[in-house]
Amino acid sequence: MIKSIRIRAAITIVVCLVALFYLIPSLTNDLPEFWKKNLPADKIHLGLDLQGGMHLVLEVDTNKALEGTIERMSNDIKENLMEKKIRFRSISQAKNDSITLEFPDRPAREAFEKLLKDSYPDFEIASSEVRDGRELVIIRIKAKRAAEIKKLAVEQGLETIRNRVDQFGISEPEIIPQGDDRIIVQLPGVKDPGRAKNLIGRTALLEFKLLDEDHNLAEAMKGNIPEGDVIAYGSQIDRDSGRRTQVPYLVKNKTLMTGASLETAKVSIADRFGEPYVALKFNAQGAQDFDRITGENVKKRLAIVLDGVIHSAPVIQERISGGNAQITGSFTMDEAKDLAIVLRAGALPAPVTILEERTVGPSLGQDSIDKGLWSTIIGLMLVVLFMMIYYKASGVVANFALVLNIIILFGALAAFRATLTLPGIAGIVLVIGMAVDANVLIFERIREEVRGGKTPRASIEAGYSKAFLTILDSNVTTLIAALFLFGFGTGPVKGFAVTLTIGIIASMFTAIFVTRIIFDFFVWNRKIQTISV
Partner 1 sequence: MEFIKPDINFDFVGKMKLAFGISMAMIIISFASIVWHGGLNYGIDFAGGTLVQVKFNVPFSIDKIREAFRPMGINNSIIQQYGPQEIVVRIPEGDSDLKGLSGRVEEALTNAFGKNAVEMRRVEMVGPKVGKDLTKKALLAILFSWIGMLIYIAWRFEFRYAAGGILALVHDTIITIGVFSLLNKEFDLTIVAALLTIIGYSINDTIVVFDRIRENSRKNIKQPLSEIINGSINQTLSRTILTSLTVIIVLVALFLFGGPVIHDFAFALIVGIVVGTYSSIFIAAPVVLAWEKWQPSKIRRKK
Considering only residues 75 to 104 of the shown chain, the ones binding partner 1 according to CB under 8 A are none
Q: Which of 231, 237, 354, 403 binds partner 1 (CB under 8 A)?
A: 354
CB of 440 to partner 1, least distance (A): 5
Task: Closer to partner 1 by CB, 202 or 209: give it.
Answer: 202
Q: Near partner 1 by CB under 8 A, which window of 14-22, 204-212, 356-364, 518-526?
A: 356-364
CB of 435 to partner 1, least distance (A): 9
**Which of 504, 530, 509, 507 has the alpha carbon at shortest distance from 519?**
530
Distance CA 43, CA 29 (A): 9
Measured over the CA atoms of residue 125, residue 93, residue 79 and residue 88, the dihedral's sign is positive
Our finding on whether 441 is near partner 1 (CB under 8 A) is: yes
Site for partner 1 in 481-520 (CB under 8 A): 481-485, 487-490, 492-493, 496-497, 500
CB of 305 to partner 1, least distance (A): 18
Closest CA to 212 of 135, 300, 116: 300
Residue 328 or 359 having the CB closest to partner 1 = 359
Least distance (Å) from partner 1 to the CB of residue 231?
A: 22
233 binds partner 1 per the rule CB under 8 A: no
Residue 63 binds to partner 1 (criterion: CB under 8 A): no
CA dist 503 and 129 (Å) reads 70
* Distance, CA of 110 to CA of 53 (rounded, Å): 60
Distance in Å, CB of 7 to partner 1, minimum: 30
* Residue selected from 37, 274, 389, 453 as contacting partner 1 according to rule CB under 8 A: 389
Cβ closer to partner 1: 161 or 387?
387
Residues in a beta bridge with 327: 278
Per DSSP, 215 falls in state S
Write the CB contacts of 481 (distance below 8 Å, at least 6 apart in sequence): none
CB nearer to partner 1: give 121 or 433: 433
Within positions 399 to 438, which residues make up the interface with partner 1, using CB under 8 A?
A: 422-423, 425-426, 429-430, 432-434, 436-437
The count of other CB atoms within 10 Å of the CB of residue 233 is 13
CB of 488 to partner 1, least distance (A): 3
Q: How far is CA 442 from the centre of its chain?
A: 46
440 binds partner 1 (CB under 8 A): yes
The Cα 78–Cα 71 span in angstroms is: 11
Closest approach of partner 1 to the CB of residue 185, in Å: 13
User: Residue 30, Cα to own-chain centre: how many angstroms?
Assistant: 31
Nearer to partner 1, 33 or 473 (CB): 473
Rg (CA), the chain: 35
Are the beta carbons of 504 and 431 closer than 8 angstroms? yes
Q: Provide the minimum distance between the beta carbon of 419 and partner 1 in the complex, in angstroms, as a whole number.
A: 15
* Residue 188 φ/ψ region, left for φ over 0, alpha for ψ in the -120 to 50 degree band, beta for the rest: beta
Q: Determine if 269 is a binding residue for partner 1 (CB under 8 A).
A: no
Q: Out of 469, 526, 527, 530, which residue is the one contacting partner 1 (CB under 8 A)?
A: 469
- 3-class DSSP string for 136-187: EEEEEECHHHHHHHHHHHHHHHHHHHHHHHHHHCCCCCEEEEECCCEEEEEE
Name which of residues 144 to 203 contact partner 1 (CB under 8 A).
193-194, 197-198, 201-202
End-to-end, the C-alpha distance of the chain in Å comes to 23
Per CB under 8 A, the segment of 32-40, 104-112, 271-279, 362-370 that binds partner 1 is 362-370
How far is CA 17 from each of CA 12, 42, 407, rounded to the nearest angstrom?
Answer: 9, 17, 10
Listing DSSP states for 101-136 in one string gives EEESSHHHHHHHHHHHHHH-TTEEEEEEEEETTEEE
- The residue from 81, 360, 512, 523 that contacts partner 1 (CB under 8 A) is 360
In the complex, the smallest distance separating the C-beta of residue 273 from partner 1, rounded to whole angstroms, is: 24
Separation of alpha carbons 287 and 282, rounded Å? 5
Calpha distance 123→146 (Å, rounded) = 10
Query: Is the Cβ of residue 468 or residue 521 nearer to partner 1 in the bound state?
Result: 468
- 350 is a site residue for partner 1 (CB under 8 A): no
Q: Is 57 in the site for partner 1 (CB under 8 A)?
A: yes
Asked if 480 interacts with partner 1 (CB under 8 A), we say yes
Can you tell me which of 466, 521, 524, 528 binds partner 1, judged by CB under 8 A? 466
Least distance CB 227 / partner 1 (angstroms): 33
Neighbours of 508 (CB within 10 A): 18
Q: Which is nearer to partner 1, 270 or 483 (CB)?
A: 483
State the minimum distance, in angstroms, from the CB of residue 131 to partner 1: 39
User: Would you tell me how many other CB atoms lie within 10 Å of the CB of residue 79?
Assistant: 10
Nearer residue to partner 1 within complex by CB, 181 or 229: 181
Nearest to 176 by CA among 185, 165, 167, 189: 185
Interface of this chain with partner 1, residues 442 to 461, rule: CB under 8 A: 444, 447-448, 451
Contact between 64 and partner 1 per CB under 8 A: no
- Which positions from 363 to 382 touch partner 1 by CB under 8 A, shown as an x/- string? xx--xx--xx-xx--xxx-x
The rounded distance, in Å, linking the Cα atoms of 394 and 314 is 85
By beta-carbon proximity to partner 1, the closer residue of 300 and 466 is 466
For residues 261 and 405, which CB has a smaller minimum distance to partner 1 in the complex?
Answer: 405
The whole-angstrom separation of Cα 365 and Cα 35 is 29
**In the bound complex, what is the minimum distance in angstroms from residue 333's beta carbon to partner 1?**
18
